Every structure is written in structure tokens, then in C-alpha cells.
Amino acid sequence: MAKVALHNLADLDVPELSDMVEAARLPNGRILLVLTPRSSDEGYQGVCLVREHLHYALSMRRYIPRETWTENWDCGVVLFRKACEFSRTHPAYFAYLLGHELGHARLWLEDRELALLCALVAPPVIYEASKGVVSQGYQLPYEQAFDRFGLWIAAEVYSKERLRDEIATLLGDPECKDADRLRFLMASEGADLPANLKEEVVSFARPFKAGIVREWRKRIELAKKPPNGVCLADLVDDWDSLIPDDQ
């Protein structure tokens, strides 16, 4: 089991929090769980930050408590203000959001090469590489897997019925800005992370491989200019090994 260090900056009272973390069945590792009252500048409700990758995205480090920057941990799971508010108004949906990010953390702890591939196929790279064919994050197979994992966690701690009721109330809000993803959740069943996730991600990425490589080569060139110097794609030794051609 992973060791989870809670940083409850939002001062939330969530008695079921430990049940949510336990239901994720995280393997050995060290996880920071940050509940913050601040909003994400990028509009995220939550993120999972890999410590080994922060070197390539130092701006994201601001979401992790400064005193932990030099500590030894694997992933930092951060839930922002809006997600934290759901813990009071829609607790099962809060469990889904946390479960989704814990799914990211679990994948990193179980298969770092696959986790890297997912990061390289993430928006906005896939948007450009696919020329708009992939326009929403929830179209990505790993995001769908993490969504189902979050649904599974929420159903384990609360119930499938309660979660669906809460999602229905969110969809009923005339100012709802995430309706497409919420409808996807309503049509999905919760599940553990699939054993064939790597095959799914590779199959998804393969038609866009040339575009993905092109977009990352652009970013590598941009990263050479000060004050950058590094790029996540620097970690890739062989694109053909990471996204092999169909046999």
C-alpha cells in the first residue's frame, strides 16, 4: 500500500476520505494528497503531478506545498477549490473526482512507461496531431479509464445510485459547463483500470503518431530557447518502441 500524506489546506471534513484512498488500492509508493482552496489557473478541478516530471513543467510546482518540494514522493494529487466544494454538496461526485486522479497516480506507480505515453498523448498535443479529430480530453482512452475508475471508487464508498443522482443534479444546472463529460459518465460503468490499457492507448495513438512526433519535436526546439532548456519528450529514446507500428 502507498503511503499518503494529506495536506488539507482547504480544511475539509470528509470522514470517508480514507475509504476513498483505500478503495484505490494504490501499490507501494508515496503520494501527496493536497486539498486546496485555490483555483487552478488552467481551469482544472484536479491534477496528478509526477515528481519526476516536474522538472519539465516547473510552473505546475506552485500547486504543491513549498515545504514538500525537496521531499521524497512519487505523485502529488491535487484537488482544487471547485472539487473541494463538491465534498460538501456532492460527496459522491467528489469521490469520483478524487478517484480519477488517484487512477493517474496508480498508473504511474504500476507502469511508468505507459504513464509517460499517456502524458505525451495529452492535450493540446493530440488536438494538433489529430488536426481536431480529438477535440475533448474525455475522448482519450486513458482518460475514459480514469473516469471509470473514479466512478468505481465513488460507488464503492457511496453507491452507484447516489453518484448518478448527483451527476443528474449537476446536469440540471443551466450553467453547467461540463455537460458532455457528465453525460459520458452517466452512460459509463465504474471499473478497475483495465489490464489492456497500454494496447488501447497505443492503438488510439498509432493513427496520429506522425503528428504526435512532429508536435513534440516542435516543443523540443522551443525548449532549447531560454529560460526553458528541457522538454518532456527528452525522455523518449525511441518513438517506434513507445508507439510501435501495427504488425
CA distances from 216 to 55, 168, 185, 189 (A): 17, 39, 31, 34
CA atoms within 13 A on the CB side of 24: 32
pLDDT, residue 58, reads 79
pLDDT, residue 170, reads 96
CA distances from 133 to 94, 139, 178 (A): 30, 10, 19
pLDDT, residue 227, reads 65
For cell 450553467, name the residue: 175
Bridge pairing between strands 46-50 and 3-8: unpaired
Contacts of 214 (CB under 8 A, 6+ apart): 129
pLDDT, residue 247, reads 57
Question: Grid coordinates in use for 78?
Answer: 491535487
pLDDT, residue 246, reads 79
Residue 164: helix, strand or coil by DSSP?
Answer: helix
pLDDT under 50: residue ranges of the chain: none
Q: Which amino acid is at 241?
A: S
pLDDT, residue 228, reads 63
pLDDT, residue 56, reads 85
Distance (Å, rounded) from C-alpha 76 to C-alpha 52? 11
50 pairs with which residues across the strands?
Answer: 75
Nearest to 80 by CA among 35, 33, 21: 35
∠ at Cα 183 (185, 211), nearest 5°?
80
In contact, 216 and 125? CB cutoff 8 Å: yes
Distance (Å, rounded) from C-alpha 197 to C-alpha 218? 28
Query: What is the distance of C-alpha 239 from the center of its chain?
Result: 23
Q: Please give the model's pTM, rounded to 2 decimal places.
A: 0.95
pLDDT digits (tens, 9 = 90+) for 104-157: 999 999 999 999 999 999 999 999 999 999 988 889 999 999 999 999 999 999
